[in-house]
Amino acid sequence: MAKFAKLSFKKDELNKELSGFFKGMLENGAVNAVLAPMAQAKKGVRLSLVTSAAHTAQVDPFAPVAAVSGAKIASSLTARPSGRKVAMVLRPCEIRAVVELVKLKQVNLDDVLLIGMDCLGRYENTDFAKFQEQGGTSESFLENAQAGKTGMGDFDLIGACKICEFPAAENVDMRLCAIGSGSDSVFIEAVTSKGEEALEKSGLKTGESPAGRDDAVKKLVATRTEARDKKFTEYRAETNTFEALSDKLSACINCYNCRVACPVCYCKECVFVTDTFRHNGDQFMMWADKDGILKMPNDTLFYHLTRITHMSLFCVGCGQCTSACPNDIDLMPLFRTSADKTQARFNYQAGRSVDEEQPMAGFKSDELVEVTGQVK
């Protein structure tokens, strides 16, 4: 049975109450460090690694921004483990990417207390700066977003979040529950025994559960799923030929920012920066000769398609690719629509379970007979 601790807060004191929880965990030795979104000295909120209880005051987990995917940070911290216990406060998309990285042995959860926050979405970095300038806070965001008011002035949530059907985190030790928990409280839920132990050590009293949460989450998932299906239909109609797809990507400058930002682009060294793609001049001339013209840098569509073959099975739809593009190409729907098809083919869902084998990591002798259509 899940255990909940209720954190009631007065106006503008949500983060103060939350910092008390993290402070308690650090001081009582539940963990040695906390990785969580923290307010920066002047402006902005970034994931920070806190080892001193004094700094927990800056914690701001519900800030609607994620400058980089926390899954990549989790990989940096644990691929070669420190041996120290760390609580990681991450978004559901980041946690689903973590699940995939665990299977790729690029994240090690042995010393990690995984805390998933309820996520109503995020703004682009530049929009988050405007949000703060206009006086927006995590509290105001939680309240407005739950009332369906996510936009402010000339900006709104990123496209990925508007069609994300995973507002609540799974495969975690604890959850920070904000959806359907009322405007003056959030709940901390212990999901696993590891989580229960940590909640106990934090010093918070367990008690009532958030009555309206399940329904509120369900409702949000339904709205988002509907938006997702609509977006998929639209995007597929716009990209049903290679020519249409290449038009969508025409502004691409082969900077590869999308794969740097992608939490599940798992290669240690991308093939597109290796000697495989460092061609001699006469090779380019030969390609140009074929049609009399060659766009440079070349291999743009080839790069994106290759990336799909590599990461679409693990795509969690976080939208970091779109955020990273310096030329405002909306890449998220390309990878999400592709991922939808490829994951369905293998009855796989990125981030669903650590125990599910990644499709390209195995095979069965009696499967996929329809591929060749031959029976001996």
Partner 1 sequence: MSEFEPKIVAFFCNWCTFTAADLAGTSRLSYPPNLKIIRVMCSGMVDPKFVLKAFLNGADGVLIGGCWPGDCHYINGNMKARRRVALVTELLKQFGIGEERFWLRWIAASEGNMLKEVADEMTAKLKQLGPSPLQNKGQMVV
Binding residues for partner 1, rule: CB under 8 A, are 236, 239-246, 249-250, 252, 271, 290-293, 295, 298-302, 305-306, 308-309, 312-313, 337-338, 341-342, 345-346, 359-360, 363-365, 367-368, 371-372, 374, 376
Nearer to partner 1, 79 or 286 (CB): 286
Count the residues in the chain: 376
Least distance (Å) between residue 374 CB and partner 1: 5
Q: How far apart are CA 115 and CA 188, in angstroms?
A: 9
Say how far apart CA 157 and CA 306 lie, in whole Å. Answer: 29
Q: What does the DSSP assignment read for 28-42?
A: TTS-SEEEEEEE-SS
Write down the least CB distance from residue 326 to partner 1, Å: 17
Q: Which two tokens stand for residue 158?
A: 């990123």
User: Smallest distance from the beta carbon of 272 to partner 1, in angstroms?
Assistant: 10
Question: What sign has the CA pseudo-torsion 154, 160, 162, 163?
Answer: positive
| Closest among 267, 265, 269 to 313, alpha carbons compared | 265
Span between the terminal Cα atoms of the chain, in Å:
52
User: What are the structure tokens assigned to 238, written together?
Assistant: 């716009």
For partner 1, the closer CB: 155 or 346: 346
Cβ of residue 126: shortest distance to partner 1, in angstroms? Answer: 27
What single letter denotes the amino acid at residue 137? Answer: T
Region of residue 121 (left: phi > 0; alpha: psi -120 to 50; beta: else): left
What minimum distance in Å lies between the beta carbon of 363 and partner 1? 4
- Nearest residue (CB) to partner 1, 183 versus 309: 309
**What minimum distance in Å lies between the beta carbon of 375 and partner 1?**
10
Residue the block writes with tokens 């000339």: 154
Handedness of CA 43, 46, 51, 54 (dihedral sign): positive
Give whichever of 149 and 341 is closer to partner 1, judged by the CB atom. 341
Smallest gap from Cβ 195 to partner 1, in A, equals: 36
> Of 175, 344, 166, 326, nearest to 261 (Cα)?
326
